[in-house]
Amino acid sequence: MRYIKLFEGFKEDVLEFTEDHLAYLMDDGFEISTYDSHNYGGGCTKISIVKRSGFTWEEIEDRFSPFIYMLNKQYIILEIVFHQNGGRQQQYDTRKDIEELLSGEADQYLTNKIYYMITIIVK
């Protein structure tokens, strides 16, 4: 039971961290939530950042890039997925992929597309 309470606190900490760093996006109509994730063997939290009307990378880049940088310093990022309508997605699920996203090298793959959700798995 003690470990379940620790994990629940982790999920709440991740939510608070995310909301604090993405407050401007929330003001622009984004919804943020966290869930327990059993990916990567469990003990992970999934962050969902959703804007049902859609958004582009260019709209969020100035707010999202610093958030990802700080999130990476605070937690271990295991996966980041940018979801488009029709099931298409841009997935970053290796350390090299995530480093490319952090450095800005991946921007070319994210531009000129409409997304409706970003999911991030942290440990």
* Strand 31-37 with 114-122, pairing: unpaired
- Written in H, E and C, the secondary structure of the chain is CHHHHHHHHHHHHHHHHHHHHCHHHHHCCCEEEEEEECHHHCCEEEEEEEEEEEEEHHHHHHHHHHHHHHHHHHCCEEEEEEECHHHCEEEECCHHHHHHHHHCCCHHHHCCCEEEEEEEEEC
CB 33 within 8 A of CB 15: yes
pLDDT category at 1 given cuts 50, 70, 90 is: very low
Tens digits of residue pLDDT in 45-66? 999 999 999 999 999 999 999 9
The pLDDT of residue 8 is 54
How confident is the prediction for the chain on average, in pLDDT?
90
What is the rounded distance in angstroms from the CA atom of residue 102 to the CA atom of residue 96?
10
Residue with tokens 């990022």: 77
Asked if residue 4 has pLDDT above 70, the reply is no
Domain boundaries, the chain: 2-122
Give me the mean pLDDT over the 86-100 stretch: 91
pLDDT category at 41 given cuts 50, 70, 90 is: confident
Asked if residue 68 has pLDDT above 70, the reply is yes
